[in-house]
Amino acid sequence: MASVRVFISYDCNKDRTYRKMLETWSLSADVEFVFGFRQPGLRMKSVSAAPVMNVTTDQINSASFLLCVVGSASHKDEWINWEVKSAFEMGKKVIAVKPDISSATPDSLKRADVKWVKQFGSRFIDEAIKSAQRSG
């Protein structure tokens, strides 16, 4: 079992490629990546969203950190903003990475206490997680 659980917040409509890459890295790392199970197109205000929000809240709460993958449409994703805000409310450290530096930053990540990863790569993400662990 991994010693660190990291909830991954990402745009499940547009950034599934990054999820697949993280799943591959997770197989060999001392880190367990946890992904929410919402389906593409699920609106937060829909009747179907409440159970997903409950499970996602539990997943974020049981994680050590939240890693937000900021893709091209993440700044408009209501789920990403909600997940990040929830993590901060729970006292979790938030790490963010932009695979494409030109992607707009979601409002919930415009805070001084977000740890930004300089590049989307297993080594850089691993270093950021280790740094967050050391800083308590």
Instruction: Give the DSSP letter of residue 130.
Output: H
Separation between Cα atoms, residue 7 and residue 9, nearest integer Å:
6
Tokens 């049981």 locate to 62
Separation between Cα atoms, residue 53 and residue 34, nearest integer Å:
15
Read off the pTM: 0.93
57-107 pLDDT tens trace: 999 999 999 999 999 999 999 999 999 999 999 999 999 999 999 999 999
Averaged over 36-45, what is the pLDDT? 81
Q: Is the pLDDT of residue 121 over 90?
A: yes
Domain 4-134 has CATH 3.40.50.720: no
Mean per-residue pLDDT of the chain: 91
